[in-house]
Structure 1
Amino acid sequence: MSTVAWITARGLFGRRRALLLLPLPLLLVGLAALCRAYDVRPSDWGTPVIVGLGLAVVLPVVSLIVGTGVLGSEIDDGTIVHILTKPLPRRDIILAKLGVAVVVSALTAAVPLFVAGLLADSAQLGAGLAVAAAVGAVAYSALFLLLSLLTRRPVLLGLVYILVWEGLLGQFVSGTRVLSIQQYVITIADKISPTGLLESKVSLTVAVVMAVIFALGCALAAVDRLRSFSMAGETS
């Protein structure tokens, strides 16, 4: 399993896709630093930057890029057949791929969110955002990894989930928030470091339980889906 993880990480950072991970985190830190440098009140910029950019864009988009890239590119170019010919349980392949996706997504999103939280309020808020981002990275990565196995357009469907389900419906239709990873992340961060900059709309119990369900459910579904792949890399 460690070999699969190493090959996945090397392939991920060996592609141009890895360069797409840099602009959004840098933009988040840059905006936070700029507002702090010009003494703009955190109450004026904290929510738009931390929630509107950090939690609503940086975290899910980074997870989408990485989550669909750890396996989707191998399906597209047919190299997945080399993995499937190895005497490895499908479970180990998915766990290795998911592990790489979670680590890369969590680090890429958590570090700039910590910095933004530190500049906006305190180290406690920064830590809360980092922890919540790590939890969100697990759920998002599992979801987007599964999408890469279900469709040839995982990025498109992932963007629909982020922009339409979480971004649009999640703001106006309360029932959709129960299935919004973004809402779980906001709630967890708010409970770790209560602040007026964050407004949780689901309970902590719902956030934790649903995040676990998303992660485990999507991971198990991904394992089952990978078992249906034939040696040609197509589904039977």
Structure 2
Amino acid sequence: MYNPTVARLTYRAVLGRRRAAVLFILPGLLLLIAVAVRGFSGVDDQVANNMLAGFAIATMVPLIGVIAGTGAIGPEIDDGSIVYLLAKPVKRPTIIITKLIVAIAVTMAFSAIPTLIAGFILNGNGQQIAIAYTIAALFGSIAYSALFLLIGTVSRNAVVIGLIYALVWEGVFGSLIEGAKTLSVQQWSLALAERIAADGMVDSAVKLPVAVVLLTVATVGATWYAGQRLKVLKLAGEE
């Protein structure tokens, strides 16, 4: 279910010059702010907690997920070059799984690693904050990649839809409206961080067992449906 050739082409698309530049901006900004905050405020567990929750998990992870998830397949569908890949003797579910693995790897690399480094800069992993938010970023990366990969297969406006989801739903509704919090990848991820961090440091609106189920269902369901969507794409000359 993994094709090295498809993976290489996908990495090249996701890490192209323009996308790579955008991918480096948010992690770079996080680390820059972390260094500045540590320099001005010293070690402060609450400041570290607020920054990693508000910037890393609520903003950086979903936005990088948008770039990696939609970039793994959206541009190929938009410009029609996907037909060359579909014409190859590669099963379409294999294409989706491979592209998902690439999207997850890129999202994790550009979100979880900077989150871990920023956490250690801010307070040296005091109260297990750095590790907690890194785990949240890792699992959030999986779900976001699957969801945004799916969006890339169903719409030519995948980036716009992804940004609306990440900034409006996750950033506004998923943080402020109680009912919407249950359907927020951010809150599911925070449930993992809440279990790892010291008591009272992280607060999630979703209990851990529910969060694990929802993360799994969202990831598997989005991946499966993306595969189904790719199956119905017709090549020129197909009946």
Shorter-chain TM band: over 0.9
User: Separation in 1 of the partners of 2:17 and 2:89?
Assistant: 27
1:116-162 deviations in Å (ceiling 9; x for gaps): 22233343322222222111011000000000111111111112212
Structure 1 residue aligned with 2:226 = 222
- Equivalent residue in structure 1 for 2:211, among 186, 207, 210: 207
Identity, % of aligned pairs? Answer: 39
The residue correspondences of 1:88-167 to structure 2 (distance < 5 A) are 88-123=90-125, 124-167=128-171
Change over 3 Å in CA distance of 1:196–1:30 after alignment to 2: farther
| Aligned-residue offset at 1:11 | 2.6
The residue correspondences of 1:13-52 to structure 2 (distance < 5 A) are 13-40=15-42, 42-43=44-45, 45-52=47-54
Letter of the 1:146 partner, please give it.
L
Instruction: Tell me if the contact between 1:66 and 1:141 (Cα under 8 Å) persists in the aligned partners.
Output: yes
Query: Structure 1: which 5+ runs fail to align?
Result: none
Instruction: Tell me if the contact between 1:101 and 1:141 (Cα under 8 Å) persists in the aligned partners.
Output: yes
User: Separation in 1 of the partners of 2:135 and 2:76?
Assistant: 31
| Aligned-residue offset at 1:41 | 5.5
Instruction: Tell me if the contact between 1:102 and 1:138 (Cα under 8 Å) persists in the aligned partners.
Output: yes
- Equivalent residue in structure 1 for 2:196, among 192, 195, 206: 192
| Aligned-residue offset at 1:184 | 1.1
Change over 3 Å in CA distance of 1:39–1:75 after alignment to 2: same
Instruction: Tell me if the contact between 1:78 and 1:232 (Cα under 8 Å) persists in the aligned partners.
Output: no
Following TM superposition, the consecutive aligned residue runs of length 4 or more in structure 1 with deviations greater than 6 angstroms are none
Q: TM-score, normalised by structure 1?
A: 0.93
User: Separation in 2 of the partners of 1:27 and 1:232?
Assistant: 45
Aligned length: 235
Change over 3 Å in CA distance of 1:77–1:226 after alignment to 2: same
Considering only aligned residues, what root-mean-square deviation do their CA atoms show, in Å?
2.0
Task: Pick which of 109-118 and 64-73 moved more.
Answer: 109-118
Letter of the 1:129 partner, please give it.
Y
Query: Structure 2: which 5+ runs fail to align?
Result: none
User: Separation in 1 of the partners of 2:49 and 2:131?
Assistant: 16
User: Separation in 2 of the partners of 1:82 and 1:40?
Assistant: 55
Q: TM-score, normalised by structure 2?
A: 0.92
Instruction: Tell me if the contact between 2:56 and 2:115 (Cα under 8 Å) persists in the aligned partners.
Output: yes
